[in-house]
Structure 1
Amino acid sequence: MRIGLVCPYAFDVPGGVQFHIRDLAEYFIARGHEVGVLAPVDDLDADLPAYVTSCGRAVPVRYNGSVARLTFGPVTSSRVSRWLEEGGFDVLHLHEPVTPSASLMALWASTEPVVATFHTSNIRSRAMHAANPLLRPSTEKIRARIAVSEEARGTVRRHLGGDAYIIPNGVDTRRFAPDGAVTRWSGTPERPVLAFLGRIDEPRKGLQVLLAAMPTILDAIPATRLVVAGPGEVAEIASRLDPRVRSATEFLGAVSEEDKVALLRSADLYVAPHTGGESFGIVLVEAMAAGAPVLSSDLEAFVAVLGDSPSGRTFPVGDIGSLAGTVLELLRDPAERERLSALGLRRARSFDWDVVAGRVMAVYETVIEGADNSPVEPMLRAGLLSRLRWPMRGEV
């Protein structure tokens, strides 16, 4: 099958959508499919994978509590059209198709059967609501809609109308599987390690909540270490910290995939204190796949990832006291951490690419077969419904 994937965000800048598209492309390539990816880039000299075609340089735009790097305009439009003409794709898979970037332009220009994945949770987006009358004629070209979570599905329903199937983000769980190796981040009972991954200067990632909890944690277990991985201005944040917290915190900056895996395998507890704007929780899945017990804020998207069992512990969003208390409870209870680790490893397998990509391929095949039918008909076929059934919360 010839598959075209379009990414609206700069492909050379780390991000959940970019990683999802990269992993999906490489999964299908490894299984004999021809895959092309179109995306903007931040650095025109970036070393891109052979399957990626640049459609121009990205520019930063504030969006949904973060900064998205997008591209638009006549030059991008020309490159998108040329890529589509040369690709000869059997199916075109657009990610975030209403974001004003390459995906939207590909939707306008497409003649192939179109599948769209919606990643964002943004129920209150006034921009999407205002643009709906302009977007609706284009979105009617989409033959199958995928949302990565119930939150993303709600955004589709509210702003675009219609529905979407939930197919979550995928993780190569084998790459994260615990190997028992000792690293410089490995903790001990007397000196446990907390881990955090995310942009340190992006408020919705919640690092400020975790840092505010650290004095209480250090009062009880003075040798606790906090390892923070992610880009951002360390000096500005560090200058405002209590000296004890600064001494206990190691800022790694942006890390390689290898170091990310090693850190997650080594952590005594992975903490996700995010405060909002999350439609999924890919880092929770990665932490669980690495065997790290997980403590997260109780965002709906995170609760859904952990499942009804649950496979991790939660605390109320932004509640510093509850976060500190639960961290201490778990650090003092190695048996409970071991139980959560085992549950997390099992839960993570539900998000493995073998499962997720198989469901995406089912959508492709059904959309191609029904290309001459109405946009909704392929989604109603019983065969596809049975192939796409996703475990309810608590099922693994």
Structure 2
Amino acid sequence: MAIPTDGGIAIDAPPKATLKSWFALLSVAIGAFALVTSEFLPVGLLSGVAADLHVSVGTAGLMVTAPGIIAAFAAPLVTVSVGKLDRRILLCLLTLLMVIANLVSAFAPNFTVLVIGRLLLGIGIGGFWATAIALSGRLAPAGVSMGRASSIIFTGVTMATVFGVPLGTWIGDIFGWRATFGITGLLGAIVLLGQLFMLPSLPATSAVRLIDLPHVFRHKYARVGLLGIVFLVTAHFAAYTYVTPFFKVISGFHAELISTLLLVYGLAGVVGNILAGIAASRDIRKTFMMVVLLMGAAMMIFPLFGVTTLGAVLTIALWGLAFGGLPVCANMWMFAAAPEAMESGAAIVVSTFQVGIAVGSLLGGGVVDHLNIPSVMWMGGAFAILALVTLASFGRGLPKTVEAQPVASH
């Protein structure tokens, strides 16, 4: 059966999946794991970096803000600038940039150089996400829907929160934050080798032009979804960036318990990713609204219940469950709103996501420095309410599912 690719050219899907096709998809998922681990490592290292490089905790939060700002611009610009470059080569180059960025951070003599390393990472983040998600249909084995393929890639994201960030926090507590960045760079190098051997050639079916990017905004539901995404991502990263300092300063938890709580968050995120993938295949809008509702509730009750061990376990698990479904819902919403613009739509979603990360962590740092840590949780809850109102009020009429089918080319 002839099926359209992300560039609009129809090709025939193979009759059955191959082992090679699964390895190719998994190599991208593992790359997502390494990338997200790199991006969010500072969440568990803020206090150590702040103390070692003599900056405030709020200023140290720039390690999250800086790559977010760059990634917001990199997603569309990389997509446009690479033209018809083979996407396999592009993914490998972006993974290499991640390795370099982590090594720069590991050996940074001061906070300025550390931020430069994080800026380099931002280029890799934006370019990788825009490319990988748009290619999910072409990488999907035969018989696997694009939604499921995207969910598999996003499993790398949730697994990063399960093992990457908590493990990075543990390594940082024992060997120091520099060792955490160094080991993550080594992981990236291993991922790069895997991609070189596992990814098939992925020639571009068309080049995305700069003039194509605004096309996405012509769709009402795309605009609504992007606004909801930026509100919710801002909410999350305004608050979650300072979860570790909250546990240390407000709750008085020891390092081992904090690592365990971050693990609980990640495990709940895996469950949330799976459940959201199933639910979104039936009704994207209702699933996204439920994700927003649960995440907002977790933030609002966190300052009240996060001060006790049991309360912290329950609230961080609820938070992780909701956040695990966010990436799937955000991208599936955009694919449903603008199915003819997969690659440019994916780039815009990445940019919007990164804008939310940058704005959220920046606002969070200001609130922490000028007020207190619990206040940033309440602010996050307020932004989540804005996201829920946006999707509920203006998202009616969005197609329930994504009609486009995947393409496997292996």
Regarding TM over 0.5, the answer is: no
The structure with more helix, counted as a fraction of residues: 2
TM-score by length of 1: 0.28
The structure with more strand, counted as a fraction of residues: 1
TM-score by length of 2: 0.28
